[in-house]
Structure 1
């Protein structure tokens, strides 16, 4: 059988920059160190939890940084796809770390609620303001890349949630300073942790689907079949696989059964038509089709290999 492959590219990793990511890493290392020291001095669990979250940011940013560098490496004989999945792996790892840290914070918050402690609100207020400015700058640096890349979005979400946590810690510090409501520290920690679980789970689910070669949620296979089966000379498209290699590349491979024994040149014309349809309608930019005539194989849309 002849298999013909075609592809379009809509985005390049070269558009991403590691410089902003590296700067965010250094900035968050400084914030984490300051918050750990401040949390130990003040006795604030919310400040320590924010520091722990910041530390997870540092780890996630480092993973994202190296994944971004790996993803730009060229393919080779042993790695025909190169390291294009490195950033999806990074997003998956970062999502797991978010959820694990969140559960740790939940248990710590509950324990502190049962055993409230007096906290130095002044230190909490000062360091939360420092964290707000630092995380705010990091968020601005990564905002553009986060819109087009799951790895960058995972790092960006770490920073956004930490920015929100820092605002919450600031509010808690003000309430503790002026109203002596020290239980607010534990309550804020609990709320931050729940939010982290929600955000982390969503990212974990999305990256897991890509790693497991799920059909993208935005693609309806039955609609693809309906459109292509309506083309001249095409009897049926079947044995279809659709998956994402990463966020830039969506692949489709399938068998196409023709109603007559057409020439290879005629098949090339049909392939070009199908490729254009799939790219314009479904953003599928890598297409591999196996032409058939008179084969007795299964004509089901999905065939278990």
Structure 2
């Protein structure tokens, strides 16, 4: 079995930096949430209250992301042979689910407000939305780099990004209400925010669900793997293949390989090195587990129903 690890000091420092950025974002969002709840109740703005509700989910999602980030650094043990490497994927799934749930609740509230429109204190809406834009914008910048390569950080980043965009929408609505008295725009903006949450949340939910269910990564085609590996002269057949993604950094493959000749263990080790090179450089698979066989009577299908 082959492994490609990178447990170095720089990775440890980078993980600590991620944790610090998450803590800063959590504190900022707690301040925003409290301010917006008070402001929404005083002004009567549904979009401001919806933004506050989304900010509250941001706080929860960021806490979940932070806990997952801490757990992911824990070492493996006899009881947890993979450690908590899936913690961040699970956090991404939970956070994506909350995005969609909150969106549905916002749509319901917006429909109710359409039926019973109210006048809104726009000045408070404007100032509080500006506060949220600056605070969430700063948090977005803190998490942007890690969001590109970590699903957990991407889930936190999306919560913050969508909330910043929602605050921009609330600001626009506040200005329209102040200068043109178009109060229905508050409800329309709530619907727009909710639909956007469904869009980004579903995409992340789908990606994290695929990893949790051990599906083959979308950019890897098993038949292409078989074709490449079977080009090695001594290999007769590749079968009983499983390919899955453990977390953001690890893609695993296990397979049975039927050899043409009854080769020695040292010969197998050399062929295994060749297989590992092919799988890593062409498919980015960095954990390989091969079961060698010769003349064994078993199913030779690529996918065997265990």
2:83 pairs with 1:82: yes
Query: How many Å separate the matches in 2 of 1:176 and 1:304?
Result: 61
Displacement of 1:236: 1.0
Q: Which residue of 2 aligns with 1:244?
A: 245
Q: Which residue of 2 aligns with 1:107?
A: 108
Displacement of 1:9: 3.1
Displacement of 1:7: 1.5
Matched residue pairs, number?
Answer: 301
Query: How many Å separate the matches in 2 of 1:227 and 1:89?
Result: 33
Query: How many Å separate the matches in 2 of 1:50 and 1:247?
Result: 30
Runs of 4+ in structure 1 deviating by more than 6 angstroms, as ranges, are: none
Q: Which residue of 2 aligns with 1:298?
A: 299
Q: CA RMSD in A?
A: 1.0
Quick one: which of 3, 13, 18 aligns to 1:7? 3
Query: How many Å separate the matches in 1 of 2:266 and 2:96?
Result: 48
Q: Which residue of 1 aligns with 2:170?
A: 169
Query: How many Å separate the matches in 2 of 1:56 and 1:277?
Result: 44
Query: How many Å separate the matches in 2 of 1:92 and 1:201?
Result: 10
CA 19–92 in structure 1, closer or farther in 2 if over 3 Å, else same: same
TM-score by length of 1: 0.97
2:137 pairs with 1:136: yes
Residue by residue over 1:28-59, the C-alpha shift from the partner in whole angstroms, topping out at 9 and shown as x without a partner, is: 00000000000000000000000000000000
Q: Which residue of 2 aligns with 1:232?
A: 233
Which of 1 and 2 has higher RCO (CA within 8 Å, sep 6+)?
1
Within 5 Å, which residues of 2 pair with 1:22-61? Answer: 22-61=23-62
Q: Which residue of 1 aligns with 2:257?
A: 256
CA 59–51 in structure 1, closer or farther in 2 if over 3 Å, else same: same
Residue by residue over 1:103-145, the C-alpha shift from the partner in whole angstroms, topping out at 9 and shown as x without a partner, is: 0000100111121110000000000000000000000000111
2:87 pairs with 1:91: no
TM-score by length of 2: 0.97
Unpaired stretches in structure 2, ≥5 consecutive residues = none
Report the 3-state secondary structure (helix = DSSP H, G, I; strand = E; otherwise coil) of the residue aligned with 1:242: strand
Displacement of 1:151: 0.3
